[in-house]
Structure 1
Amino acid sequence: MAPRTLADEIRQKLGDASPAERKVARVLLAGYPSNGFETIAVIAGRAGVSAPTVLRFVGRLGYSGFPDFQASLRTELDERNASPLSLYESTGYGRPAEQGEEGTPSAGGGLLARGSGIFSAAVAQTMAELPPHDLEHAIQLLSDRKRRITLAGGRFTHLLAQYLGLHLMQLRDDVRFLPDRDVERTAALTQLARRDVLVLFDYRRYEEDKVALAQLAQEHGGKVIVFTDTWLSPTAAHAEVVLPSQVAAPSPYDSFVPTLAVLETVVAGVMTALGEVGHQHMRQGEDTARRIGLV
């Protein structure tokens, strides 16, 4: 399982920190992780505190000094930017003992047991660490029929956006996917307003356009929900709701199994929130599909 990030540690220490130290924490979180690589003087200036206050807060996090803190942040950043190729090469994945050869740990039942253990633990940790307030707020936003829902993903995560969006379409109106073609996409983004909820999926090797999308929605008064990994997409800085998931897998590819568990939980919550309205919407959809021969 991925260890807790520095951002998690900072949030956890907020309650124990002094008022001055909390100012340092907010500066670090507001521009995470880049603000952590600034000098002590710059961080202190932005927080309006003294340099020793920055050092005291870093010490509260368990680091022996500021260089130690930045070294840990640098290691986390390397993990944050990891690709399937870099993970494949750095872990030695694909050596004979990992290829499922006869008698190796990954052969047959060994691979099944390993996959079962990894996925079970990843889902359990994801659900245990999911912020209850953010989950409830996501359900509230997605079940508010006065709001328009727009979903967008990336290279692989567009599949997650479609999975959630297709479920929502069966339960309520005003759900759409952000178009791929330039003119249509521009028109959809230009229309963003206070009633809009933009749902983004962004995982490590984060995509720059997702930050711009989140900023646009926020500037227009809309709400942003971000599904991401435990290292947190940069879009999280502009989000109303952030729902992180573990990505551990038996291969160098990040797993979306825990994210699917979160999505299923969100869908269940939306169904409960909509109640009979959602039930009637499902019934009307079934009737329409039957009339045109789709079921």
Structure 2
Amino acid sequence: MTKKRADKSQNDVLEQIAQHYATLSPAGKAIAHYLQKNPIAVLSQSTSLIAENVGTSKATVSRFFRQVGFESHQQARASLTTLREQGVPIASDNNEKHHFDSEVQNLAASFDGIAVEELNSIATLLANAGQVTLIGFRNAYPIALHFRQQLKQIRASVRVLPLPGQTLSEDIIDLTDKDVVVLFGFRRRTRQFKFVLENIKHCKTVLITDPTGQGYKHFVDHLLVSHIGSDAPFDSYAAPMSLVATLCNLTYTKLGLTASKRVDVITEIYKQMDELEDSER
């Protein structure tokens, strides 16, 4: 049993149900059907309530969880919670009110944990860097892309890596000590994440991560922790996006007239190329 629980899939209750389905009794299969249709029940309902909803006994439900590889319903619930903490989408009863409260909590926790002096130091780096390189994988990539879009309006030489369909090595090798690299790394990071950190140490580096990335602090010059978790199935990136907006605003202030002149030039080119919708429409 111990060896069996070492399997990575063991934490996924639905996967365990699928693996053991053929060996279940008719009553066990009825419970399986109910939980497959209502996976949130593992988290939100007691053993007694599951039994009542399926039309069976509490003892049968307890036996069911043992049959699919768990010591108890409590262990199955804890296993799903562990998966959620790792960033795996898990069904929940999170409603709109809970979502709003969670967003506010994430924003508050993120900014309460970051000193204003730290943000200003990073903004100074972003304003003065010879080149700014933004690196993001998976869910972090669109945040890096948005960061680039904002910074590009107020300063030159801003890029996002990796480029679509490309590898990183040929770009990382060109980085110098005049470069500032902002790396985004949220939970469920790729295996190459640590390799990237090892190979950008000669640059000025900023890591924006969730609490699970704090172990990488000694790899970088600045580490900003942004909270993304909730009881809902998916992580929320409202706090990291707000953090990006804050850094861009501070960088704009640091650049001063240089930034405003660049914005004016870009705005004029927008008009000449007729790229944007007329604001009067």
TM-score normalised to the size of structure 1? 0.61
State the match for 1:226 in structure 2: 207
Residue type matched to 2:106 in 1? A
Structure 1 residue aligned with 2:163, among 174, 180, 184? 180
Tell whether the 8 Å contact from 1:131 to 1:243 is kept in structure 2 after alignment: no
CA distance in 1, matches of 2:100, 2:87: 23
2:194 maps to a residue whose letter is: V
Secondary structure at the aligned position of 1:157 is classed as: helix
- Whether 2:106 is the aligned partner of 1:122: answer yes
CA distance in 2, matches of 1:156, 1:264: 17
1:80–1:231 Cα contact (<8 Å) kept: no
SS of residue in 2 equivalent to 1:199: strand
Name the counterpart of 2:96: 112
* 2:238 matched residue in structure 1: 257
- Out of 251, 256, 265, which is 1:284 matched to? 265
State the shift of 1:198 in Å.
1.1
Match of 1:169 in 2: 152
Letter in 1 for 2:238: V
SS at match of 1:151: strand
In structure 2, distance between residues paired with 1:79 and 1:131? 31
Q: Distance in 2 between matches of 1:246 and 1:167?
A: 22
SS at match of 1:284: helix
Partner amino acid, structure 1, of 2:185: D
| Number of positions where the alignment pairs a residue of Structure 1 with one of Structure 2 | 196
Inter-partner Cα distance in structure 1 for 2:118 and 2:275: 36
Q: CA deviation at 1:180?
A: 2.9
Match of 1:147 among 125, 130, 141: 130
**Structure 1: runs of 5 or more not aligned:** 1-77, 99-105
* Number of the residue aligned with 1:82: 86
TM-fit CA distance, 1:235: 4.1
- Please give the TM-score of this superposition, normalised by the length of structure 2: 0.64
Q: Would the aligned equivalents of 1:154 and 1:202 in 2 still touch at CA under 8 Å?
A: yes
Q: Superposition pairs for residues 1-295 of structure 1, below 5 Å? A: 82-85=86-89, 88=90, 93-94=91-92, 98=93, 111-144=95-128, 146-180=129-163, 185-218=168-201, 221-232=202-213, 234-295=215-276
Q: Quote how far apart the aligned CAs of 1:246 are.
A: 1.2
Cα distance in structure 1, aligned partners of 2:161 and 2:140: 13
Identity %: 19
The answer to whether the Cα contact below 8 Å between 1:157 and 1:201 also exists between their aligned partners in 2 is yes
- CA radius of gyration, larger in: 2
Q: Which amino acid aligns with 1:139?
A: A
The alpha carbon displacement at 1:259 in A equals 1.1
Q: 2 CA distance for matches of 1:170 and 1:127?
A: 25
Contact 2:84–2:233 (CA<8 Å) still a contact in 1?
A: no
* Cα distance change of structure 1 residues 211 and 165 upon mapping to structure 2, 3 Å threshold: same
Whether the 8 Å contact between 1:245 and 1:258 is mirrored in structure 2 is yes
Given that residues 169 and 175 in structure 1 are in contact (C-alpha distance below 8 angstroms), is that contact kept between their aligned partners in structure 2? Answer: yes
Q: Please tell me whether the aligned partners of residues 184 and 207 of structure 2 are also in contact (alpha carbons under 8 angstroms).
A: yes
Q: Distance in 1 between matches of 2:166 and 2:141?
A: 19
Q: Distance in 2 between matches of 1:205 and 1:229?
A: 11
| Uncovered stretches (5+) of structure 2, i.e. residues with no partner | 1-81, 277-281
| 8 Å CA contact retained: 1:206, 1:233 | no
- CA–CA separation in structure 2 for the residues paired with 1:235 and 1:148: 23
